[in-house]
Amino acid sequence: MNTKTRNISHLIEGIATKDGAGVNLTRIIGSPELNMLDPFLLLDEFGSENPNDYIAGFPPHPHRGFETITYMLNGKFTHKDSAGNEGHLSDGGVQWMTAGKGVVHSEMPEQSEGLMRGFQLWLNLPKEKKMIDPSYHDIQADKIPSVLLENAKVKVISGEFQSTEGPGRPHTGVLYLDVHLNKSSSISIPINENWNAFIYVYEGDIESNLSVPKGNLAVLDRDGIFECRSISSDTKFILAAGEPLNEPVARGGPFVMNTKGEVLQAFDDYQSGKLG
């Protein structure tokens, strides 16, 4: 068993941007500072009590070649797609969509006031699975198990922590945790060797070999156990780790393929009505 500590390599701050029909959000992965962290293509945080920041939602738009994982901390969204799926996402739930060979979907808020907060993570598909049939499933909050520790609670969205397995079913190896630490508490989290990993602190702050304040993403080294300690009370962070695909990545807006030609084909398929 590896007893080495997995250090933080460097910190990334997100940038404010807009997506969909004008939804205000912070982009952390997929930004100029961190284009991707294989197999993770994008990480957005959205959060506001002002309905003008989110009410327009994400009207119908296409995807091909990857998976989207939307984790709602607060708020309610409705998902509809061209494969006939419809789902309702609420506080603490996860929407897991595999775009595969192509889907057109919308994500629209079910509320006109109150707090809307959460994350969307894009997970790349390996070359041999980029053109699989699209799929979708809601994971409601009561289906996401939590591991209760003396001074912490860990929600297991995907992968395994202390023999508890999450309900997420990615097409590649992925660990996705939401960690809540009491003040001045420590935690150790095993991560598979050679996997890329990051944490994003969304409440409070933590310290490891570096201090990580709220609103910062920490890219971790690729071997060892991650250990950290909370500084403030109500410290919360997500941790995601994944097996790198080590394949070429060609991006074109909502399409992520292996070559530029495949991206152009996706645009052609969408414009001709063959996608979704």
pLDDT in tens, 153-182: 999 999 999 999 999 999 999 999 999 999
Between 137 and 222, the more confident residue is 222
Indicate whether 267 belongs to any domain.
Answer: yes
The total number of structural domains in the chain stands at: 1
39-74 per-residue burial string, b: 16 or more CB within 10 A, e: under 16:
bbbbbbbbbbeeeebbbebbeebbbbbbbbbbbbbe
Which pTM was predicted? Answer: 0.95
Indicate whether 13 belongs to any domain.
Answer: yes
Which residue range forms the structural domain that includes residue 198?
A: 8-271
Indicate whether 3 belongs to any domain.
Answer: no
Indicate whether 42 belongs to any domain.
Answer: yes
Indicate whether 224 belongs to any domain.
Answer: yes
Residue-wise pLDDT for 62-98, tens only, equals: 999 999 999 999 998 888 888 888 888 899 999 999 9
- Write down the pLDDT at residue 233: 79
Indicate whether 75 belongs to any domain.
Answer: yes
Using CA atoms, how far apart are residues 197 and 42, in angstroms rounded to an integer?
13
Read off the CATH number of the domain in which 135 is found.
2.60.120.10
Q: Is 29 helix (H, G, I), strand (E, B) or coil?
A: strand
Indicate whether 276 belongs to any domain.
Answer: no
Indicate whether 209 belongs to any domain.
Answer: yes
Using CA atoms, how far apart are residues 109 and 75, in angstroms rounded to an integer?
8
